[in-house]
Structures are given as C-alpha cells and as structure tokens.
Structure 1
Amino acid sequence: MIRLALLCLCLLAPAVAAEPKYGILRNYSGLPLVFPLAIKSDPGRDLMIALREPDSWDVAYTARVEGGAFFRVLVPVGTYVLEITPEGGAPYLYPQPLTFRIEGLSRKVGHSIDLRGGDLGAPEPIAFCQSRRIDPDDWRDLRDYWRLPLGDPERPDRVPGPQLRERLCDGPAARRSFDPIDG
C-alpha cells in the first residue's frame, strides 16, 4: 500500500513541476540583480524575455512574463539588447539597447517598457533611490550610548547605525538634479 502511494506521488510530481513559472529564470551574468525593469504586456500571451550582451550576443538574464500582468523585476548592471519571445511565436528584438546604471551616489536607473497593443514605444526611465536614515526609535539609544557610562545597565549594547532605505523615485521632482551652484 505504501509502495502504491509512493508510486502515485512520483508520477504526479512531474505534472506539478510542469506548471508555468513566472519571474526570473536564470541570471547567467553572475552580477547582482539591483536595477529595475518593468514590463506591461497584453493579456493572453505569456512572454519569455532575454537580456543579451550587444557585442557577443550571449544571454545574460532570462525571465518569464505572465501575459497581461504587470511585471517588475531586478536585473544586472550593463547595456543589453532585449529579446522578447511571445508564447508560440517567433522572437523579436526591442528596437534600442537598454542601459541599467547608477546615477550619482544612490540612484539605480532602469526602464519601464509598455508592449501593449503591439507598439514598441520608447522605454521610460524608472529609478530606485537609496538613503541612509536613523530610525526615530534609535535616537534615544544613540544619545544614551554616549551619555551613560560603561557598565550602566541602562546603556545600550550597540551604537545604532543608519538603516539603508530604498524607494521608487519616478516623478519629475525625483528626476530633478540638485546643483548647489545653480540652486
């Protein structure tokens, strides 16, 4: 009886594994995935995307996009050609290479692409901005760490440090650069 149950489980396992998987399939580049790529597509047809090196044509990254669902993923740094393969269709290339880069000290710039309606328009830039902030609850601990003597039971065990915070900074105000000379 147990053997029969194990046999049934073994036969059902490949059927469960055959369901389509969406999201990152493979990062061939080995680089960290930190830059945003957002894709909007028509419902009904799933897409396979591949980021290819423009010079060598090597695949750096692959992902599967569910048709009609908003897809946002992180990709590696660099300039890539985007290859799009609709389910059951022939692959085609996005008309211009996409560059994923860092601007300034803390702005990770990527792209948002709208593939709806078959129109391959220009990609819109999107970015993640990073900042370091001390949590308001940690201000008291920071004060007490330096104020209270060693061995005091009220003295915190560690110096609270800043926390890295990351947010999507899409708007025109976020794209405005700060130049202290120009104001």
Structure 2
Amino acid sequence: MMRRLTLAILLVLLALPAAAIDRPAGLMWNRTGLPLTLPLQVKSDPGSDLYLQLSDPATGQAVLAAYVRGGAFFRVLVPPGRWALTFARGRDAQGQDWQGEDGLFGAATEVIALPEPLVFQTEGAARKSGHLIDLRGASPVLRDIGLCQRRALDPETLSGSWARKHPHGLPDPREPGPFTTPRYDLRSHFCDDAG
C-alpha cells in the first residue's frame, strides 16, 4: 500500500510542469537614487506581459525595471532624466514563460527598443511631463502626457481661525486666540498639452 502511494505521488510530481517563477507586478527596482516622480504609462495586449527597463543612453547602464502584466492598466513613476526604454515581451498571460530577469521569457522573448531616448522632466512648479507608450499595435505609439498639480486649501484647518471666531472684525490682540495656519493639500490630475 505504501509503495503504491509513493508511486502515485511520484507520478503526480513528474506530471507537474517545471516550477515557474512567479511573475512580479509593477516597479521591480530603481538604481538611480533619484525620486520617482514623473509619469510613464504603458498599454499592452492581454496575454502579452512586458519587462521594462530604463537605461542611461550614454552608458547603457540599466537604472530602473518594472513588470507590466499584459492588458492590465499600468502606470509607474520614474526619475527625472533622459532614458532609453527597452521592453521584453512574452506571450504567456499565466506567467509560465517568465524565467526571471536573466532568462526573461525564454526563447520566445521579443525585444522592443524605442528608437530614441525619452525625456522625463518637471516644467515649472506645477507640471510633470512624462509619456504614454501604446504597444498594442504593430509598432509602438508614443504620446506625451503631463501630471499637473495644484494646491487646494484644506477647509478643516480653518476651524480655529480668527475669521470664524471674529466674523465682524479683527480679533483683540490682547486676547489669546487659536490662530491656525491654513494647510494646503497637493492635488494631481492628468492634463493635456495645454496644461
């Protein structure tokens, strides 16, 4: 009985595929030491995962890596600079072809390198310029995108202000008052080329 059970377990183990490496998701690493503040969005086909690398165009040194699951919404913040972008594409949505950063998607790996480096930068204090790359067609389609920011007053911080305590004039300077400094929240939204 024990011999049959051992044989059955062995047959089941042999029937299983080789252990696949779990697919990651999103940002994998950043070696620049710079803050990740500028938008990069990638559109991809379902069932077509991507491994993205940003590299320094002068040295070829990889500075950032991310994993894009095919067909899923993907946006990552990248550091400021001028970066060469390379994608490795695999066709297995289940991740069975993903063999890690060294093996990528095995022999079926397709490499897509953008012909020119892309610039990621801030423009003034309120706009962060990035890019959207659409890899769903025969060739990559590139579009500039912007992340605009503005400060919005937090009304909760006005609860102790003199305007509420003294609606008809200035407070008596001899009176200790709960003066508060208003707080502003940073609000971000995608904006078009007009800003």
TM range (shorter): 0.7 to 0.9
2:133 is aligned to 113
Q: Which residue of 157, 162, 178 corresponds with 1:138?
A: 157
For 1:164 and 1:45, locate their aligned partners in 2 and report how far apart those are by CA, in whole Å.
Answer: 36
For 1:127 and 1:147, locate their aligned partners in 2 and report how far apart those are by CA, in whole Å.
Answer: 44
Give the CA deviation at 1:79: 0.6
C-alpha deviations, 1:9-64, integer Å up to 9, x for none? xxxxxxxx942111000001111001000000111121100001010111111000
User: Could you list the runs of 4 or more consecutive aligned residues of structure 1 that deviate by over 4 angstroms after TM superposition?
Assistant: none
For 2:25 and 2:111, locate their aligned partners in 1 and report how far apart those are by CA, in whole Å.
Answer: 18
Q: Which residue of 110, 119, 127 corresponds with 1:99?
A: 119
Q: Counting helix residues as a fraction of each chain, which structure ranks higher?
A: 1
Q: Which residue of 145, 152, 158 corresponds with 1:126?
A: 145
2:87 is aligned to 84
> How many pairs does the alignment contain?
153
SS in 1 for 2:75: strand
For 1:112 and 1:99, locate their aligned partners in 2 and report how far apart those are by CA, in whole Å.
Answer: 12
Unmatched segments (≥5 aa) in structure 2: 1-19, 91-104
Give the CA deviation at 1:140: 4.3
**TM-score (normalizing by structure 2):** 0.70
SS in 1 for 2:47: coil
Larger radius of gyration: 2
Identity of paired residues, percent?
38
Q: Is 1:55 equivalent to 2:58 in the alignment?
A: yes
Cα RMSD (Å) of the superposition?
2.4
SS in 1 for 2:22: coil
For 2:78 and 2:89, locate their aligned partners in 1 and report how far apart those are by CA, in whole Å.
Answer: 20
1:23 is aligned to 26
